[in-house]
Structure 1
Amino acid sequence: MRDPTMKDIIQVKNISFNYSGQPLLFDGLSLDVHEGEWLALIGQNGSGKSTLARLIDGLNVLKKGQIFVDGLLVSDQNVFDIRNKIGMVFQNPEDQFVGATVEDDVAFGLENRQIDREKMHQLVKTSLENVNMWEFRDRIPANLSGGQKQRVAIAGIVALSPKIIILDEATSMLDPQGRQDILDLVRQLKEKNHLTVISITHDIDEAASADRVIVINKGQKIDEDIPGKIFSNTEQLARIGLDAPYTAQLIAALKRRHFDLDKEYLDREGLIAWIKQLVSTK
């Protein structure tokens, strides 16, 4: 549940945008991101999720409307201040690597900010330790596994102390265990550093662990709520080409067979516990 004392760290106000020569992708879109929450943006490929992230970070320019990040209007004048508040982790971490070694890569952003060398070395060490990659500091980033590359990318961002981390399909190239490891890591860093996290994904299971979910389809916000409410509406998800999480599908099947389940949605652990209780009473 949202802390009522928390502000909206991102405000998207009635924005319109289109790529050159293309029809409007967004036409009057508005949404807010609450400070300290984990927000999942879900939708099919091409629905506008990644474009929205680029607009928030000032990488694309609005046709109409306004976006505020931590009280600053996204504009040419504020773009560098805004980017200091946001760390983006992309689908392919190799696109972010610039250093010859893991340690050099994490240090790159700090060098650009002209951080004192002694402080910089300590920040690099702490950031790599936080993602369990300090022992790989002398390795070439391109030679790491997919999950290790994402850990290094995250370390480079955390070293810069952003307020917001945006995961732009950041786990889509990983196997299920690697995906879960990265999500667990980001959640730990979120709590430790009081971050706001935006997860842009078409992975429904990833979105199911968020605090709140916004559903985007063809550039329009069609729903927003806690995961339980979003994923209990399996018919709406199907209409826009998204699968419901397996647990939601199983709950729907049980209800069709007249099992008395008083929850609209349960995560995997909760559903297993409910089934065990059901079996024990038979």
Structure 2
Amino acid sequence: MNERDYEQTVSALREDETGTGAVPSIKLNDGNMIPQIGLGVLRISDEDVEGVVTDALAAGYRHIDAAAGYNNESGVGRALATNGFNEGRARRNLWVTTKLRDSEQGYDDALRAFDRQLGLLGLDYVDMYMIHWPTPFNWRSSETWRAFERLRGEGRVRTLGVCNFLPEHLERLHDETGQWPAVNQIELHPTWQQRDVVGFCKAHDIAVEAYSPMARGADLNAGDGTVARIAQSHGVSAAQIVLRWHIENGTIIIPKSVHSFRQRENLDLFGFALTQAEHAAIDALDGPARAGHDPLTFTYA
């Protein structure tokens, strides 16, 4: 990012950052607005997730990222109902994402799966429904997408997205359906920046959403203390530095934490900005190894 682009990016962010702690939103290619920070709930039991989501809602989160494969949609639904976020104005001010289980891809299977998931969540609609993995070895994304379009037409889904799609998968989906997804959720963090995927998404107006935005904590120690030194200069945590880097890149992030104080910290990213040199130093941490799974071979069945 050159100096002019960096200054324009930070200037635009500051226009959105009102000093009230409000999280900026990203406008998607379908016109919907998604909060740039959400709560991820992967690897939290159905029993425990209710309290985690309750804490997050109290902290100010208005974006919850769920999935059938996480096996905790029921607990998420209980938290939304208990805290009054399952209907009315509170529901309209909340963004809820969930994802289709890979084994339920296909037109009829996806429709049946969505009915079950919506019931578990206790909602009338979800804000975004996503294909969880492309499964190119058992490609059913175009049939699944037709089901997604029907759900959107019925008003039960607002935005359609995908996860873990590489450019070749996005192009195939577009060739077969004539559509680009609004969001591509991918593994993305300083040591695995997937610049080819990000560049393709930006060229086709697909918003990028990062899961594992800190590589499950590993990237907090990346670069022989680079992140820690930048954090010390700003008087914030290493996690806040990495998440701020994502924010300045225009990336949607869904950091996971079961601790309420860390949830609040992960929202507190708008009282400081990285310098261009600091941002470039984090850019330079990019590496050759992912922390998670390969979209060419993996299925979250």
Q: Same fold (TM over 0.5)?
A: no
Question: Larger Cα Rg: Structure 1 or Structure 2?
Answer: 1
**TM-score w.r.t. length of structure 1:** 0.35
**TM-score w.r.t. length of structure 2:** 0.34
